[in-house]
Structure 1
Amino acid sequence: MEKVLIELPNQYSLHDTLYPSFTYPFFEYNNKIVKVVGSFSGTVFYFKKLLMEIQFRDSIPSRFIKEWLGLWFDPSEFVGVLSSTDRRIAETFVKTYRNVRLSVSTCDRDYIFVSVFLSQNTDFHFNTVRWIRKLVSVYGPEFLKANPRFSIAGDSYQLKRLEKVFSTYKRIETCSDLGFLRMNLLSIKGVGPKTADAFILFSSKNSESTPCDVHLKRFIGRLGLVDFKKLPSKNYCSKYYCWFDSECPVKEECLRYLFMNKFRKLSGWIQTIAYLHDKKFCSKSRCEECSFRKLCKFI
């Protein structure tokens, strides 16, 4: 096997980078980390102090390794373009969560769709991972090449629905304009704004894409980051083009539009740390340990 060494940033955490990412099911975690799903399966990652040793059979473009590790994205690079008020808030986020990057995989777009779709209304780190690993055990690491029967992994409605809609997804996934791609994704039964935005965020390098889940809503509400009245709605999002520019009549009330235009390229990363922060602190009432206590309206 070939091997390369990559220098890691100070205070970098691979666990905290992968845990909130939809690339999480693509790796097995023991004393080493092995990629077991999708392109370049069998790649092995070893920690060596501030270095990561990567072993692989087939030559891997370095950009893919950096995507998986989240090293393509440094949140500190996107703070300076914000307004002075937003910059101060973003600096607090970056200081607290500088160990967290964005793990994406542009070479595994179809597998990202599977991961995101199967995460709906279930325990992602248990059920979604279990279903994907079952597909790997039956069809192999690149199971999508086998035209799989997804329901072989279980009897959940998520698997049955994915089996019905995956061919529809395949017809639209090559759309290059992200605003139109989002609208097209929303034409798929079972795909709402959160699913579409999560797919775009984790299958590309468009860090502005912002899945508006319960964790982000709670995070924004506690810190008063934007004054919104509506969450993204499939009824509106499927009809109106909406990225940084929007044709939507309710855009000025929408959490996603307001948040994306406020935090720009940091938006998707902030959504990621909101997930981690809510899991670690807010949901456990660990307010005394929270780095954002001075910003929080609930304290």
Structure 2
Amino acid sequence: MKLVKLEFRVGGVEDFNLNLTLKPSFVSSLYTKSGDSWIKVSGLLAGDLVVTYVDGVLTVYSKACGDGDLLREVALCETGLWDEPPRARISKLKGKLREQVEALSQLYPGVRLSISPHDFNCIFIAVVLSKRTRYDVFVKRWVGELWRRWMCDLEVLAKLSISDLKPVGSSYQLQDMLEALRDFVNLDVDLTDVAEARRRLMACRGVGPKVADATLLFTTKSPWIVPCDTHLKRVSKRLGWVNGDVRMPSKQLCLRYYCDECMSKYGECLKVAIERLFPGFGGWVQTLTYLFGSSTCRAQRPLCERCHPTLAEYCVEARRRPLSSRRRSKDFV
């Protein structure tokens, strides 16, 4: 079969960074990295899609995909190039929000949203497994073994017992996955209506707002969806985006009310606040806070010396610390 090659000239690192785009995305669970190349190992075109990014040129190779339009669509979605460049989003902001998001984008340049609309099953499994555990260490290992044995077939996986999963692991996340899948296979989820799809996903055992929102963020072209995790909450509080007592989205309330009705009764949750501050692209901002919060702005012993000076100026936590502990990164002096 003839090798198909697509090339996309992207521009500078501030516009696109393949590694930083895939790292925080659950789409990375479908790939393995080798040198400058990302090789797809699960889902659509598994074993036959290779992506490289060198000197501003993204190159995509495939033999099995004879449909050039499909290959282009998969490539654009999974590399994040379907998404608008960071500078376009930053230009929509004003005042301190613009300064803060621009600083985050300088720390993590070229981040786009990598999504995989053709691999919903795989992404849903990876997100469900990610609860309260380390994605790079455990989730990627679990899904690699699951997909090697049973592919991304939800019907097959839902019929397994916990003893069937012993070769994969013994963590409670695997038991939770089975329960969620057994509920999900009996649902009819229409991904064209993300608000209703969110509620249907949350009808599954073990699926709350964060799991539902992350699944939809990474499987639909909906950059406004905001999965609320501890990193987003911590960074948002420290930068003054939300009050210290902001509440996280609640599964009970999300199933009972739509957002407007819930907000009128209980006030804004973190999700609604971020959607209001960053209309249309809250999911992209959440991705930046995940990178920042997991590596630098940590809950315990934050690495303030690595922080961008603009962020440090606004940080509530930094102002509480002695001046001697507020060392600035040499990269931004």
Mark the runs of 5 or more structure 1 residues left unpaired by the alignment.
none
1:64-213 aligned at under 5 Å gives the runs: 64-73=74-83, 74-82=85-93, 84-139=95-150, 142-144=151-153, 147-148=156-157, 149=160, 151=162, 152=165, 153-170=168-185, 171-213=187-229
Question: How has the CA–CA distance of structure 1 residues 250 and 94 changed in structure 2, closer, same or farther, with 3 Å as cutoff?
Answer: farther
Aligned match of 2:41: 36
Greater Cα radius of gyration, structure 1 or 2: 2
Question: Residue in 1 aligned with 2:304?
Answer: 287
> What TM-score comes out, normalization by structure 1 length?
0.90
Residues 27 and 36 in structure 1, CA contact (< 8 A), matched pair in contact too: yes
Q: In the aligned structure 1, how far is the partner of 2:161 from the partner of 2:230?
A: 28
Structure 2, unaligned runs of 5 or more = 319-333
1:200-226 residue CA offsets vs partner (Å, 9 max, x unmatched): 111111111111111011101110112
Residues 15-54 of structure 1: pairs in structure 2 closer than 5 A: 15-31=19-35, 32-42=37-47, 43-54=49-60
- Distance, in Å, in 1 between the alignment partners of 2:188 and 2:94 is 36
Shift of 1:46: 2.5
- On the 8 A contact 1:16/1:99 being kept in 2, the answer is yes
> 2: CA distance between counterparts of 1:145 and 1:210?
25
TM-superposed CA distance for 1:45, in Å, is 1.6
TM-score, normalised by the number of residues in structure 2: 0.81
Matched to 1:22, the amino acid is: F
Alpha-carbon contact 1:224-1:296 (below 8 Å) kept: yes
Provide closer, same or farther for how the CA distance between residues 163 and 66 of structure 1 changes in structure 2, counting only shifts above 3 A: same
Structure 1, residues 103-135: CA drift from partner, whole Å, max 9, x if none?
A: 111111111111100111211112111111112
Name the count of aligned residue pairs: 295
1:223 aligns with 2:216: no
Task: Indicate the residue corresponding to 2:327 in structure 1.
Answer: none
Cα distance in 1 for residues equivalent to 2:21 and 2:4:
25
Q: Percent identity?
A: 30
2:44 aligns to what SS in structure 1?
Answer: coil
Q: Is residue 252–residue 258 contact of structure 1 (8 Å, CA) maintained in 2?
A: no
AA aligned to 2:216 is: I
